[in-house]
Chain A
Amino acid sequence: MKGEVKTDSYSLSRVPTLADTSPRKYNKRRRLIETSLAFGVPGSLIVLWQLGFHYEWIDNRFYASPWEIVSSKKLREAELWSEIWTSVQRMLKGFFAGSFLGVLLGVLMGVSRLFRAAFESLLTALYTVPKLALIPVFVTLFGFGELPRIALIAVTVFFFVWISTMSAIMGVEDGYREAALSFGANKWQLFRHVLFPGALPQIFVGLRIAAGVAVLMLIGVELVLASDGLGALIEKGRTLFLPELTYVGIAISALLGLSFTYLVKILGRVLLPWAPEDQTPNQN
């Protein structure tokens, strides 16, 4: 719908469209369309999936149908909720520990050339190591308890947050620094009033990506290194040949990732009312 109408071959007319004449109505309609798409597309895929079972296009020995997942007895067992809670706790602990260290090191390296010189190549090299490959190392370091699981999540989160924090601090416009320095700001004041707040929107983008990654890592760690939690549930479904169990686990972890990512995003909006809306696509 463009505001251009061809009246005859010799003239072009620019006329208002619905978006111009009644923007409220237009926006309402646009939002309605967007919302229906946001729910409609996944919704129809689920319907298709269910139909696949109904018409036996899909082998129900290996896969579970949406209805089986939703009506699963497992969902009504208190045990499932304690599994979820175990997983959520691991994820949150790992996420907060990793984010804290990531912001800390990102800030130090963003502010100081010397720190950057000392650690950048080292961390970049470690960044590329698949963290699941480090499981044996973490088990030897931290034993068989909760610690290696949380530590693995934390390490993964750390790298995402570290990189985005460092580049965010370095990317704060020179003009903003100059203005503070012209008032005689010292290093701490420069950081507190300019560098940190200026970097926060970008740091939150990093945190949001890391939130998704934390869920990925959580399930990965639990698949191999835990007897409880969502990952273990998925694994149990596979070994006991109960696809329903596996798919309940997968569905819940997907929802967990979705809600956690949104939570971080909303937190960013609330804490940084001045920042332009974060346009980066959702991870996961």
Chain B
Amino acid sequence: MRKLSCKIEARAVEKVFSADSEDEVQALGPLDLKVQDGEFVCLVGPSGCGKSTFLRIVAGLLNPTAGRVDIRINPKNPTPISMVFQDYGIYPWKTVEGNIRFGLEISGIPKPRTKEITDHWLERMDLKAFAGSYPDTLSGGMRQRVAIARALAVEPEILLMDEPFAALDAQLRQLLQDELLTIWQKDQRTVLFVTHSLEEAIVLGDRVIVMSARPGKIVLDQKVPFERPRLPELRAQSDFNEFKNELWLCLKGEVENYLERVNSVDDKIGTHDEG
């Protein structure tokens, strides 16, 4: 692999899903993207634009159909990349402690060190009292805290987050965003964060990338103009909302494109039914 100048470099990445070669769906790309070391990049776009697909390609869960993604990592790090999922992330058969420990166990970290790190994250995420509980007994917000702790405990160089707060209510969501902000600002890691909330993307990200309706391409790559460290109060500033509206104008067109296609598919199905 040639020397990379940045942390993640995607070049002409495409993904085509095909059940059998007949019904092919181009889900993504071609997409080019460079992410610098320590950068927090948010991907937004209409449903089905392939943003999660791209994340899964970076995670190594899917392979691209064309193009390539190169990732620069420290070869000594046993878990260079970790991921937080929207749901199904944490295991109902493991206790909170067992879940946080999971990534460390997988990478074969010695037991005493594992214990130390797990305790640290239990403390930091305010989960100490629930160390022995099973996720079923926890609220959605706490479960997602466990998922974040599990992903960060392995000290990844790159953190991938796939709509991690989408299932939470608005208040909880904001709370966890603020928590993530604090954690990230403390030890900056490279983060790729997929969301469909512009506000979330602007509060958290250094850059916001707006993707087009399927097949997902980048239509806007915008630096977020707000200084760090950012505080929760940012959301109330007028320039925050101005910036948000600016991005929304761009995203809106894509959402409309998406809706148009969904409707035209419905029409087709309609004619099939009649015929």
Contact = CB atoms under 8 A, between A and B. Distances in A.
B61 interface: yes
A193 B90 CA distance: 11
Given A184-B107, A193-B102, A272-B93, A176 B88 contact: yes
B134 A175 contact: no
B106 A180 contact: yes
Interface of A: prevailing SS: helix
Interface of B: prevailing SS: loop
A193 B93 CA distance: 9
B61 A182 contact: yes
Interface string B77-104: 0110111010111111110000000110
Interface in A169-185: 173-176, 178-185
B93 A183 contact: no
Contacts of A62: none
B93 to A, nearest CB: 4
A274 B93 contact: yes
B145 to A, nearest CB: 16
Contacts of A173: 88
A183 B61 contact: no
A180 B90 CA distance: 10
Interface in B116-157: 134-136, 154
Nearest to B103: A183
Contacts, number: 66
B88 A183 contact: no
A180 B107 CA distance: 11
Contacts of A143: none
Nearest to A200: B93
A274 B105 contact: no
B106 to A, nearest CB: 5
Given A183-B106, A184-B107, A175 B85 contact: yes
A259 interface: no
Chain B interface size, under 10 / 10 to 19 / 20 to 34 / 35 or more: 20 to 34
B107 A274 contact: no
Chain A interface size, under 10 / 10 to 19 / 20 to 34 / 35 or more: 20 to 34
B154 A183 contact: yes
B61 A178 contact: yes
Contact of A182 (B83, B90, B135): B83
Contacts of A182: 59-61, 81-83, 160
A179 B88 CA distance: 8
A175 to B, nearest CB: 3
Interface of A: 173-176, 178-185, 189, 193-194, 197-198, 200, 272-276
Interface of B: 56, 59-61, 78-79, 81-83, 85, 87-94, 102-103, 105-107, 134-136, 154, 160
21 contacts: A175-B85, A175-B87, A176-B88, A179-B89, A180-B106, A181-B61, A182-B60, A182-B81, A182-B82, A183-B154, A184-B106, A185-B106, A189-B105, A189-B106, A193-B91, A197-B94, A198-B91, A198-B93, A274-B93, A275-B92, A275-B93
